[in-house]
Structure 1
Amino acid sequence: FKFTLKYSVAFIILIGIWTCIIAFFLQGNHP
């Protein structure tokens, strides 16, 4: 269970980072 929780948290963090990166590029392309 500990490993599953650890990977789940890491996965959520990665999604958050990708969301920020995509939003940043979209803002740059469409100001």
Structure 2
Amino acid sequence: MQKENFLTTLTVLVSFLVIIGFFHQWVLTY
């Protein structure tokens, strides 16, 4: 249970970082 929770948190963190990086790159390009 704890392992699944950690995996979900890790996935959310990675997705959040990807979205932030993509948005930051878009802002820099624009």
Q: TM-score band (shorter)?
A: 0.7 to 0.9
Distance 1:15 1:23 in 2: 12
Q: Indicate whether 1:19 and 2:5 are aligned.
A: no
Consecutive unaligned residues of structure 2, counting only runs of 5 or more, are: 1-5
TM-score, length-scaled by structure 1 = 0.75
In the TM superposition, structure 1's runs of 4+ consecutive aligned residues that sit over 2 Å from their partners are: none
- RMSD, aligned α-carbons: 0.4
Consecutive unaligned residues of structure 1, counting only runs of 5 or more, are: 26-31
TM-score, length-scaled by structure 2 = 0.77
Identity of aligned residues (%): 28
